[in-house]
Structure 1
Amino acid sequence: MEMQIRHNNMDINSFRAFMQVRGGFTAGRRDVYFIRFLGYESTLVDELTAADNIYNDAGYKGGIVYRYIDRLPLPDKTETDFYLEIYEKWVKETKQTQGLKLKCSQNNALLCDALGKALSKIQRIYINEKYGYEAGSNAEKCGYQTGSCALDTEKEGSIKSDYKGINNSIINDSIIKNFLIKIMKWTDYVLGDKCAGWNEKSSIKVAALDVFKLHEYLFYYFLTFIGVDAALLQVSSDIKTGISSIAAGFSKTVTTGSYSDIKLPVFKRKTAGVSVNEAIPPKDNYVSYKGSDSGIHDNSDYKSENTGKKTVTKPRLSLPQRPDRVRREPVYSPAVKAGCENQTQKRRELSFEELAKLASSIVLITAYGEKGKPLSLGSGIMIGKDGFILTNYHVISKGVFYSVNIEEDKNVYSTDEIVKYHTVLDLAVIRIRRKLDPLPVCSDEKGLVRGQKVVAIGSPLGFFNSVSDGIISGFRQFEDMDMIQFTAPISSGSSGGALLNMYGEVIGISTAGIDEGQNINLAVSYENINNFAKGFM
């Protein structure tokens, strides 16, 4: 019999009371608590310290298992592949009835079953939250009943390709899949190795600091479906954007004080969460733009937390020259945004003035931290009319939410929706709620040649949609990843901008420049863009 969940049955008015209460389990129903504590209370540090000292080492023999989470890490490429395999097995083979076998639940069939049912519920809630709730929905019933119309009854767990949400937005299967992959990764991260003895009566408590994103908020709600009590300590502010009043109603709010920028102590995890890399051999040659030892500056305005200065390092780039490619005569191709009147007309090269007008499809992205302070600037390329914007992963990787500025549009669009990302290719797709005029991405099989004219559009140093021209100066390989070297000037803030050919097609996305060099700039090529983002264009 499926465990029934009753939320917030008792009045809880402090974090201390939250830690002391034990939800009962009677006749198949479990009482759990999901509470947002708003503001800073002078006793909070002492209460967190006491909880860490008392409960962090507790086991299941009558004890409370406790986790304090100051941030939830995104899955890396290896982890994404690992959880994608679990997701596909969950959808294809188990039909969501035989459970979800994660690292934390692999030796506990009861927990596998509870996790599978919980994932099914949170999937429906997320669909509703992103695409609209049915009329009359409320916080109590939506986790169990609404949203099922979006699911493909022939292939349970998948989204109907033609399904439109109540707000008439197309539901993309990749968006749902990426959300559920995060849920699985975070479940292993939070629950770790303390679940071998889990059952419906087990008491697990999680305290999370300053939760701002919808994905993270729904993750903690997901945990309550397996009997976890979750306290969201909204010390600096409450959840700001991207959450409906229905979802906000999932948790009880308790005001404990005024909002504060106070720095809370860092509590070291006494028992680490499960690392997928312990079970999967690490792959070599992954490219990361987070570190400072890559020899590449990331073109977003990151600064050192300790010095406030940008880190400058020596180049460490292998530059094997690829053979020159022979450029053929232009071929007939589908109509592009500029330079064509119909699908039967040859492409024509555009003037620089015409190419500059395409800047209206390049955006300025600002990434913000948990307290609403800007962390970095970057650029993005409109690639899908339904709000899809391509950028570099390193532009958005440290942000909690993002603002998007569009040329000749006075509105500023806020989003926390990362639809897809790839740490190796350094690519990411974010989404805003606006119809866009996307740029075409080159699909020509003839390839590029050295010496070919190019135009770069981006926002170097925040100078919105600057246009520069240059040539392709070479084709380079950085840790087994093909990149275009070009001379069009770029600076910090240009990352995520478009590198165009003379037909107005995107042939690359500006990604990096060598610190010690002049006009030695690199872009991820259109082949990788097409493979990564083909479902959104």
Structure 2
Amino acid sequence: MIFTTKPLKVVRLTCENPIEDFIKHELTKEEAGSLTRNAFFIRAIGVEKTDEIFSQQVKRLDDYFLLKAKDTVYLRLEELKYSLSPQETEGYIQAYEEWLKIKDAKPEEQFRLPFPAELTSDTLEWTKKCAFKEVLHMYECYMPHANASTTKNFAVKLLSWITAYLPLLVTKERGQLGKVVYVGPIKRQEYLFLYFLFLMGCDVLYMNPQEDCLATYEEVLRTSQVYHYPIKAQVPATLVPFETYKKQIVKPSEVATVPIQSISIQRPPQQNTTIKESGARRGSINLGGSHKGSVGNGIQRQTPRVPSSAMPSRSVPPKNNHSAEPSRPIVPNHQAPRVGSTVTTSIGNDTGILRELSYEELAQLSTSIVMITVLDGQRRAFKGGSGVVIHEEGYILTNFHVVRDGCHFEVQFENEEQSYVTSRIVKYHPNYDLALIKVEKRCKPLPLYRGEHLVRGQKVVAIGSPLGLFNTVSDGIISAFREIQDMSMIQFTAPISNGSSGGALLDMYGRLIGIITAGFDAGQNLNLAVKSEQIEYFANNFL
């Protein structure tokens, strides 16, 4: 059978007045009956006269498309949400890997591939897959540090955004696509998603009252039109969130809802219960090296213990050959202020009062958590994990089993394209499964918890890079406290996966209560972290 389905061909229009032209542009009857679409992709930078006028322009767009042009699907964004469960992450990885197998195959094979956010129109479905391929190609061409791991991370993020937002913008009719307004600062990956929407035929308007933060990037200059207003705002725009504003002005019966699609995951049958480290030895990053070491053989019913093969002995130092500190009794906790008292920490508000943070605020602490790729003597990556900044001079805490056998360590910080390579292990402790490395960079550290005893049932948040997916955030509770190899550990339910080792376990005040270390392989969300007491003893001089 001859494959006859064609993707849309999108022609970028040039605007003279961003707001007016964006509002007035409509799909013509001729376009609706053809495969050609005319669409805007505009970067509107600055303000016309005052900051207030900028806010009025955004309000005008909202009012027009929500109240007058109700047949037009409209979406205003100030950020792209990205928070996946391990099951969702696994599903997107599976979808990406299946796509990799056939991306250069015949068009009919690519078209038949099941793909997230399935559309009813064959034309739009084929356009979606072609646009996905084009955007990934741009990422590989223009991102200076793009490699197989970072490209996979971006692909998963892109697929999650496609699943979340595309169904909100495409109606059942073949020719009806939406309009997207993005307001405020934007990063290159978010921009590439906007370009994906443009390739789908959406009108896209990016508005930043302060600066064109992407103006130096070649892929931005060649894919969108910039329009500069005469004045740059001094402060970011303060806007009512879109969903809140929509509820204020639109009756509930008028608000259309589109179900977000989910990805079904086929899980392999469970094997005999074992404990495994949650780092590279469970396969987070494996670009050609073998994983050394064996795993425990079983769990005692009340107090599971990791056999000695799962915890490195003192006689196996890393190749940097730093000596481990001798064991000593754990130093007792310092007493910390109770909730409501004043503290000197960046986590508190301006009054210095310790307060519980929202999940969004906790996720922002990811800037102090890094992804570590472990390199051999030829600088080839063979495993990876996570790490936590504990000192502003670039000291990063991770697990010993993450850095063991490594010669160099590539450290990636959130929102930075540059990575930092170091071979310096400052100290390590095999029994605690802790190690400290250093990079030449000023960093923002996380505060260590020094309060009263933690309790079962209290909420926690885990941040790390499972499966090499940079700084994934998950939540759960403390479910128990365990003695593993004569060391007290926190058992918690926040989901983790391979590559989470060395990541942060936080309380709801943004304090580091543990370093993610291991998981019960056959169980669901049965995970372990080194407690803050061991961290304090091990790294006290660096806190």
Q: How high is the TM-score relative to the length of structure 1? A: 0.53
**Do structure 1's residue 378 and structure 2's residue 368 form an aligned pair?**
yes
User: Structure 1 residue aligned with 2:11, among 6, 9, 22?
Assistant: 6
User: Shift of the alpha carbon at 1:107?
Assistant: 2.5
- Alignment partner for residue 15 of structure 1, among 19, 39, 61? 19
| Among candidates 86, 89, 93, match of residue 84 of structure 1 | 93
Residue type at the aligned position of 1:64: T
Count of matched residue positions in the alignment of Structure 1 and Structure 2: 359
Counterpart CA distance in 1 for 2:194 and 2:512 is 45
Which structure 2 residues correspond to residues 508-519 of structure 1 after superposition, within 5 A?
509=502, 511-512=504-505
Does 2:78 correspond to 1:70?
yes
Name the structure 2 match of 1:216: 190
Q: Distance between the aligned counterparts of 1:127 and 1:45, measured in 2?
A: 36
Which structure 2 residues correspond to residues 182-261 of structure 1 after superposition, within 5 A? 182-193=157-168, 195-199=170-174, 201-239=175-213, 244-256=217-229, 257-259=231-233, 260-261=235-236
CA distance in 2, matches of 1:27, 1:463: 56
Shift of 1:67: 1.1
For 1:64 and 1:520, the matched residues in 2 are separated by 47
Deviations 1:272-304 (A, max 9, x none): 5543459889xxxxxxxxxxxxxxxxxxxxxxx
**Per-residue deviation, residues 241-297 of structure 1 (Å, max 9, x unmatched):** 8x623433321111234224230122216445543459889xxxxxxxxxxxxxxxx
CA distance in 2, matches of 1:472, 1:520: 22
Residue 198 of structure 1, CA deviation: 4.1
Between the aligned partners of 1:429 and 1:461, the Cα distance in structure 2 is 9
Letter in 1 for 2:137: R
Cα distance in 1 for residues equivalent to 2:225 and 2:19: 13
Indicate if the aligned counterparts of 1:12 and 1:18 stay in contact, CA closer than 8 A.
no
SS at match of 2:178: strand
Which of the residues 418, 429, 452 maps onto 1:433? 418
Q: Where does residue 524 of structure 1 map in the other structure?
A: 516
The 8 Å contact of residues 2 and 28 in structure 1, kept in 2 or not, is answered as: yes
Task: Report the counterpart of residue 323 of structure 1 in structure 2.
Answer: 305
Contact 1:45 1:265 in 2 (8 A): no
> Deviations 1:63-105 (Å, cap 9, x if unpaired)?
4221111211014023323333333333335746306755643
Aligned mate of 1:114, from 121, 124, 127: 127
Take 2:442 and 2:54, find their aligned partners in 1: how far apart are those partners? Answer: 43
Kept after mapping to 2: 8 A contact 1:55/1:64: yes
1:477 aligned residue (488, 491, 500): 491
Structure 2 residue 143 is matched with structure 1 residue 130: yes
* Partner residue of 1:174 out of 144, 149, 153: 149
Q: 1:45: which partner in 2? A: 55
Work out the CA distance in 2 between the residues paired with 1:122 and 1:28.
Answer: 20
1:265 aligned counterpart, secondary structure: coil
Post-superposition Cα deviations, 1:180-210, rounded to whole Å, max 9, x if no partner, equal 22222222322334524243x4342100112
Between the aligned partners of 1:2 and 1:457, the Cα distance in structure 2 is 50
For the residues of structure 1 that align with 2:257 and 2:263, how far apart are their CA atoms?
Answer: 12
Does the alignment pair 1:55 with 2:48? Answer: no
Letter in 2 for 1:524: I
The answer on whether the counterparts of 2:170 and 2:177 sit within 8 Å (CA) in structure 1 is no
Contact kept in structure 1, 2:116 and 2:159, CA below 8 Å: no
Sort the Cα spacing of 1:20 and 1:84 in 2 relative to 1 into closer, same or farther, 3 A.
Answer: same
Q: Is the 8 A contact 1:35 1:251 kept in 2?
A: yes
Structure 2 distance, partners of 1:461, 1:321, is 38
Identical-pair percentage: 16
Q: Please state if 1:34 is matched with 2:19.
A: no
Question: Contact between 1:19 and 1:51, CA under 8 Å: does it hold in 2?
Answer: yes
Is the CA contact 1:508–1:524 (under 8 Å) kept in the aligned structure 2? yes
- C-alpha separation between the residues in 2 aligned to 1:332 and 1:473? 19
Give CA-to-partner distance per residue, 1:359-416, whole Å, 9 cap, x none.
xxxxxxx9xxx9xxx97862547544689996469x9xxxxxxxx9658xxxxxxxxx
Q: 1:125, CA displacement in angstroms?
A: 1.0
Q: Is the CA contact 2:211–2:232 (under 8 Å) kept in the aligned structure 1?
A: no
What RMSD, in angstroms, separates the aligned Cα atoms of the two structures? Answer: 5.2
Distance change in 2, residues 1:380/1:12 (3 Å): same
Match of 1:294 in 2: none
Structure-1 separation of matches of 2:394 and 2:258: 41
Whole-Å separation in 1 of the counterparts to 2:35 and 2:508 = 62
Matches within 5 A, 1:258-269: 258-259=232-233, 260-268=235-243
* Residue number in structure 2 paired with 1:286: none
Higher helix share: 2
Q: Classify the secondary structure of the residue corresponding to 1:262.
A: coil
The residue type equivalent to 1:6 in the other structure is V
Match of 1:303 in 2: none
The residue number in structure 1 matching 2:336 is: none
Structure 1 residues 109-118 or 322-331, which shifts more? 322-331
Determine if contact 1:190/1:273 at 8 Å carries over to the other structure. no
Corresponding residue number in structure 1 for 2:252: none
**Which residue of structure 2 lines up, in the alignment, with residue 490 of structure 1?**
none
Q: Supply the AA of the counterpart residue of 1:206.
A: V
**CA offsets, 1:445-489, max 9 Å, x none?**
xx965xx596667899957999xxxx9732332128799xxxxxx
Q: Contact 1:210/1:233 (CA < 8 Å) preserved in 2?
A: yes
Structure 2 unaligned runs (5+)? 1-5, 247-254, 267-301, 327-346, 348-359, 396-410, 449-484, 521-543
CA gap 1:5/1:99 in 2 versus in 1, 3 angstroms: farther
- Structure 1 match to 2:320: 338
- Whole-angstrom distance in 2 between the partners of 1:271 and 1:460: 47
State whether residues 34 and 252 of structure 1, in contact with CA within 8 Å, keep that contact through their aligned partners in structure 2.
yes
**In structure 2, C-alpha distance between the alignment counterparts of 1:129 and 1:461, rounded to whole Å:** 27
Asked if structure 2 preserves the Cα contact closer than 8 Å seen for 1:206 and 1:229, the reply is yes
Amino acid at match of 2:207: L
Deviations 1:102-123 (A, max 9, x none): 5643423221111011111111
1:247, 1:351 → 2: CA distance? 51
| Residue segments in structure 1 that go unaligned for 5+ positions in a row | 132-168, 282-319, 340-347, 353-365, 396-403, 408-426, 484-495, 497-506, 529-537
